[in-house]
Structure 1
Amino acid sequence: MAQSLKNLKQDFVSNLTGGTINEINLVTAVAPATYILYAALQTRLGFFKYYGPLQFAVDFLLSAVAILFSTTLYSSFPLLLNLLIVSPAILLHLGQSRNTKRPAKPRSQNVEKETSSAPEFPKKAFITVYRGSMMVITCCAILAVDFRVFPRRFAKVENWGTSLMDTGVGSFVFSAGMMSAKSVIKDYLAKRASEPLGARLKSAMRASLPLLALGIVRLIMVKGVDYAEHVTEYGVHWNFFFTLGFLPPLLAILQSVSPAASRMGINPTFVYTLLSLVTAVGYQVVLEKTGLKAFVLVGNRNQYGLISQNKEGISSFAGYLSIFLAGMATGMYTLPRDTQSQRFGLLKKIVGWCLFWTISFMITKERWGFDIAVSRRLANLPYILWVASFNTAQVTAFYLVERGYFRGAEYSVAVPKVLEAFNRNGLAIFLVANLFTGVVNISINTLECRRIPAMGVLTSYILVLTLLAVGLDVKNLSIKL
C-alpha cells in the first residue's frame, strides 16, 4: 500500500465526532423490524417452514442486506427503512389469519415431568436473534467503514461522543458476557461451591490462549503488509482480540464471590450487576482523580515504552471488563429455563433491568448534573452504561417480538436460519470477516469506490460470509476458538 494512500485511509477514520444516540437507535432498530417481518411471514404464511433457495434469499435480504442498507444507502432515512420493512408485516397481520396454532396447555400432571426433562439452558429464539443480528451488524460495519457510502458519523469516535461502531465493540463484549453466565448459574442452582481458583485460572487460560494467538496473528499481518491503522483506537500493538483474551483470567478471580453469594441466598444477577458498577465507578474515579485520563488522551505515546504505546487498550480494559460483567448479569436471568408460568416474570425482569441501565446512563449525562461525556477510547462510565442500556433494550425488543408472535412455538420455527448460523460460529465468522476486510483494502482503493461499486463489494462480502455461516450450520459444524 502506497504511503500516501495509507495516510489517506488513516485520516478517513480519524478525528471523528460521531452522531446522536437517537439516530443510532433508529439505524439499529432495523434488526427488530426485520424480525417482525420474518415473524409475520412465518406465523401468517408459514413461509419458512420449508427452507429452500427462495427462503434463503428472503432470509438473507431480511437478516443481512437490510442491516447493510440501514448503515449505508438508508443511513439518512432509517425511519423510512423501518417503515418499509414493518409495513408488509402489518398488512399480513391484518389480512391473514394465524398459520401456526398455539399448542394446548399441558395437563398439570405432565408439567413437572416435562420441566425436569427440559434442558437447563434451552435455546431461546430472542437471544439467538439478538446475538446473530449483533454479529451481522459488526461484520457489515468493519468493512463498510472503509467506503465513503458509510457515513463518517457512524465510524468510531476519536475521543468524545457516540457512534454506531462504538456500540458494536461494546455489544460484542456484552454479548460474550451473557453467554459466560452459564457456569455461574450451574453452581448457583446446584448450591455448590465453584471450582478452586487454580482450576478456574487453568480453564481461563485455555480459553484465553486462542484469542491471544489471534491477536498476535492479526498484529503480525497488519504490520507485515503496512496496513492502515487507527492507532488511537487501541494503541500501537493492542487489538480487540487481546482485550477479549485477557478477560477470562480476571473473571476467574472475580467468580470467587459467587459461592459466598450463593450461601447467602443473594441473586447472582445482583452480584454481577454490583461487580460491574463497582468496576465502572472505580475506574471512572481513577480517570478523574489521577492523571490517567489526560495521559490516555494527550500523553506522550513513547514515555513508558510498551505501556504508553498501548495506553488505550490497557486503560479501556477495565471498562470492557465492566461491560462483560453487565452482560453476565443479564445472562443470569435470560439464559436459564423458564416455564410458561414464569414467562411474564421474565418479561418484567428484562424490561426492569433495561430501565435500570437506561436511567443509570441518563444520570451520568449533562442534563442530570454529572456532565460526563461518553468516550469509547477510554471506555469510561457513561460508555459502559450506554452499552448496557443499548443491549438490554435490544434484548427487550427481540423478546417482545418472540413473545408476541411465537409464544408456544418451537425454537426452529422462531429463528431465521441466517441469524442462527451467525450466532453459532460468531467468533470464527468475525475472524474471517477481518481477513476479508484486509484483503479488500489491499486489493482496491476503497476511498475512490463510488456508491454502486461499493455496494456491490459490500453485498458480495456479506453474502460470502452468510454462505459460509449457513454452510457450517448445515454441516452441523461448530468452530470453537
Structure 2
Amino acid sequence: MDASYKSRKEAFVSNLAGGSALEINAVTLVAPASVFLWSVLQSRLSLFTPYGPVALITDFLLNVLAILFATTLYSSAPWLLNILLVSPALLVLLNSRPRRSQQKANPRHAAAAQDGSGGLPSLPIHPFLTTYRAAMMIITCIAILAVDFRVFPRRFAKAENWGTSLMDLGVGSFVFSGGVVSARSVIKDRRSGAPAKKTLVSRFASSMRHSVPLLVLGLIRLFSVKNLDYAEHVTEYGVHWNFFFTLGFLPPFVEIFEGLATFIPSYEILSLAVAVLYQVALESTELKSYILVSPRGTDLLSKNREGVFSFLGYLAIFLAGRAAGIRILPGDPSPSIAPQQAKKRVLSSLAAQALGCTALFALNSTYFFGYGANIPVSRRLANMPYVLWVAAFNNSQLFLFCLIEAVFFPSANRTSGTEKDKEAERTAFATSRILKAFNRGGLVVFLLANLLTGAVNLTVPTLDVSDTQGMAILIGYAAVITGIALGLDKANIKLSL
C-alpha cells in the first residue's frame, strides 16, 4: 500500500468524536422495523413459505440492504427509512388476517420436553434471539467495510477517546451477544449439578477450547496487518492487540466469576461490580492518563494498554450479557406456567433491565438534574458509562425482537414433550432464513467478512471512489456474505460466535 495513501486511510478513521446516541438509536431501530415488516408478511401472507426467489430477494432487501441503507444513503434520515418499513406492515395488518392459527399451549405440559440427558428439560429455541444475534452480525459485517468509504458518515466510525458512535456500540454489542449465549452452559450445569463437580481448572480448560479459534484468528489478523503493511489505527486496541484477542480471552476469564456466582448468585451484580471497580481505578489513579496520553513504551503492556485495560470493561459487558441470557433462555420450567405467560415474564425482565441500565447510564454520563457524574462515554477505555450504554441498548433490542415474536408468533416455542418434533417447523416459520444463516455460521461469516474487507481495501482506493461506486461495491459485498451464510446453512455447517 502506498505510504501516502496509507496515511490518508489512517487519518480517515482517526481523531473522530462520534455522534448522537439518539441518532444511533434511530439508525439501529431499522433492524427491528425490518423484522416487524418481515413478521407481518410471514404471519399474514406466508410470503416466505415456501422459500422461493421472491422470498429470498425480499428477505435480503429487508434484513440486509435495509441495514446497509440505514448506515449510508439514509444516514441523515433514519426515521424516514423506519417509516417506509413500518407503513406497508401496517397496511397489511389492516387488510388481512393471520394465515395460521396459533396453538394454545397446555400449561400441564409446559416443562415436559426432555433433552435426552438425565431427564432434564431442554432449553427451548428462541427465534427472537436468533434474529437479534443475526442482525448484530449483519450490521457489524457491513460496518467494517463501509467505514472505509466516504458514503459511511464519519460520526458512525469509532470515536478516538470520548463519544458515542455506531461502531463503538457494535463492538460492545458483539461481546454482550456472546455473553447471552454463554448462559446456555451455565443453565445446563446448574440443572445437572455439574458446577459442584467441576474444578476451576477443568472449567478454565474447557472454556479455552472454545477460545482457541478466536485467538488463532487474532494472530492471523496481527501477522496479516503487519506483513501486508495494512492501514491500522493503533490507538484502537494497541500495537499488537485486536478485537479477536478480546473475544478469545473473555470465556476463560469469565469462568473465574462462575465460582463467585455461588456467593453472589447474580451476574448483574458481578457485572456492575467489575464496572464500578474499574471506573474507580480510572478516576482515582493515574490509569486513565496512562491509557490515553502516556508515551508508548517498548514493553508489551505499554504497546497494548488500550486492549489490555479495556478488557475489564468488556468483561463487565460479557457478564451483563450472561445475566440477560440466564433470564431469557430457560423459558419457565414450571408445569403450571403457560408459554405465553413465560414470554410475558421475559418481556417484563428485559424491559426492567433496559430501563434500569438506561437510568444508570444517565446518572453516569450526564449531570441528571445535578445528581449525575457526567462522565463521558469512552470505547477506548471501555469505562462504566460505555458498559451501561451497551447493556441498555442490547436489552432494549432484545425486548423489541421478543415483543415482535410474542405478537406475531406466540406459539413459536415448544410447549410440550410431544411437540418437540414440531419445534423446528414452528421456529423456522418464525425466523428469517437469512437471519438464521447468519446466526448459525457466525464465526465463518465474520472471518470471511474480514478477509473480504481486507481484499477490497488492498485492491480498491476506497477513499477516492464516488458514493455510487461505493454503494455498488457494498451491495455486492453484502450479497456475497449473505450467499456464503446461506451456503453454510444449507450444508448444515454451524460455527457460531
1:440 and 1:167 map into 2 onto residues whose CA distance is 24
1:460 aligns with 2:460: no
Which residue matches 1:243? 246
CA RMSD of aligned residues (A): 1.6
Using the size of structure 1 for normalisation, the TM-score is: 0.95
1:57 corresponding residue in structure 2: 57
Letter of the 1:288 counterpart: E
Q: Deviations over 1:286-329 (max 9, x none)?
A: 11111110011111012x52111111101101000000000000
Indicate the residue corresponding to 1:320 in structure 2.
Answer: 314
Residue by residue over 1:161-189, the C-alpha shift from the partner in whole angstroms, topping out at 9 and shown as x without a partner, is 00000000000000001111112112323
CA distance in 1, matches of 2:114, 2:466: 56
User: For the Cα contact (< 8 Å) 2:439–2:496, is it kept in 1?
Assistant: no
Can you list the C-alpha shifts for 1:86-135, whole angstroms capped at 9, x where unaligned? 110000000112212111443x6655645888962221011010000000
Structure 2 residue 222 is the aligned partner of structure 1 residue 219:
yes
Moved more, 67-76 or 121-130: 121-130
Structure 1 distance, partners of 2:109, 2:204, is 42
Do the aligned partners of 2:331 and 2:343 also contact (CA within 8 Å) in 1?
Answer: no
Corresponding residue number in structure 2 for 1:156: 158
Contact preservation (8 Å) 1:215, 1:242? yes
- Rounded to whole Å, the distance in 1 between the matches of 2:271 and 2:113 is 36
Q: Residues of 1 paired with 2:275 and 2:286: CA distance?
A: 17
CA distance in 1, matches of 2:23, 2:215: 35
Which residue of the partner structure matches residue 385 of structure 2? 382
Using a 3 Å threshold, how does the CA distance of structure 1 residues 280 and 452 change in structure 2: closer, same or farther? Answer: same
Q: 1:64 to 1:345 in 2, by over 3 A?
A: same
For 1:412, the aligned partner's letter is A
User: Structure 2: how far apart are the matches of 1:386 and 1:113?
Assistant: 38
Q: Which residue of 2 aligns with 1:477?
A: 493
Q: Decide whether aligned partners of structure 1 residues 95 and 225 sit closer, same or farther in structure 2, where only a CA change above 3 A counts.
A: same
Specify the alignment match of 1:11 in structure 2: 11
**Per-residue CA shift, 1:256-310, capped at 9, x if unaligned?**
123455xxxx4xxxx11111011000000111111110011111012x5211111
- Residues of 1 paired with 2:179 and 2:143: CA distance? 21
1:103 aligns with 2:119: no
Q: 2:422 corresponds to which residue?
A: none
SS where residue 447 of structure 1 aligns?
A: coil
Give the Cα–Cα distance (whole angstroms) in 1 for the partners of residues 139 and 329 of structure 2.
23
Match of 2:423 in 1: none
Structure 1 segments, 4+ long, off by >6 Å, are 115-118
TM-score by length of 2: 0.92
CA contact (8 A) 2:155 2:165 kept: yes
The match for 1:438 among 442, 450, 454 is: 454
Query: For residue 250 of structure 2, what is the amino acid of its counterpart?
Result: L
Mapping of residues 126-205 of structure 1, within 5 Å: 126-194=128-196, 195-205=198-208
* Cα distance change of structure 1 residues 299 and 475 upon mapping to structure 2, 3 Å threshold: same
Q: 2:395 aligns with which of 392, 395, 401?
A: 392
Q: Secondary structure at the match of 1:158?
A: coil
Shift of residue 345, structure 1, vs aligned partner: 1.6
2:358 partner letter: T
Contact kept in structure 1, 2:377 and 2:385, CA below 8 Å: yes
In structure 2, the partner of 1:423 is 439
Aligned to 2:359: 359
Change (3 A) 1:114 1:313: closer
Structure 1 residue 146 displacement after superposition: 0.1
Give the aligned partner of residue 267 of structure 2. 272
* CA distance in 1: counterparts of 2:344 and 2:457, whole angstroms: 49
Match of 2:416 in 1: none
CA contact (8 A) 1:323 1:384 kept: yes
Does structure 1 residue 210 correspond to structure 2 residue 205? no
Query: Aligned-pair distance for 1:211?
Result: 1.3
Change (3 A) 1:321 1:441: same
Matched residues in 1 for 2:134 and 2:35: separation?
Answer: 11
Structure 2 unaligned runs (5+)?
333-337, 413-425
Aligned amino acid, residue 322 of structure 2? M
Matched residue, 2:76:
76
From the superposition, tell whether residues 111 and 13 of structure 1 become closer, same or farther in structure 2 (CA, over 3 Å): closer
Aligned to 1:286: 281
Distance 1:23 1:396 in 2: 19
Distance 1:279 1:431 in 2: 30
For 1:446, what is the secondary structure of its paired residue? coil
Aligned to 2:367, what secondary structure does the other structure show?
Answer: helix
Q: Gapped runs of 5+ residues in structure 1? A: none
Cα distance per residue 1:349-406 (max 9 Å; x no partner): 1111111111111110222220100000000000000000000000011011111111
Residue type matched to 1:437 in 2?
T
CA shift in 2, pair 1:408/1:115, >3 Å = farther
Question: What amino acid maps onto 1:62 in structure 2?
Answer: L
* Kept in 1: contact 2:313–2:382 (CA 8 A): yes
**Cα distance in 2 between the residues matched to 1:375 and 1:33:** 29
Counterpart amino acid of residue 183 in structure 2: A
Match of 2:126 among 95, 118, 124: 124
* Residue aligned with 1:54, SS: helix
Q: Aligned-pair distance for 1:83?
A: 0.2
1:208 CA displacement = 2.1
Q: Secondary structure at the match of 2:229?
A: coil
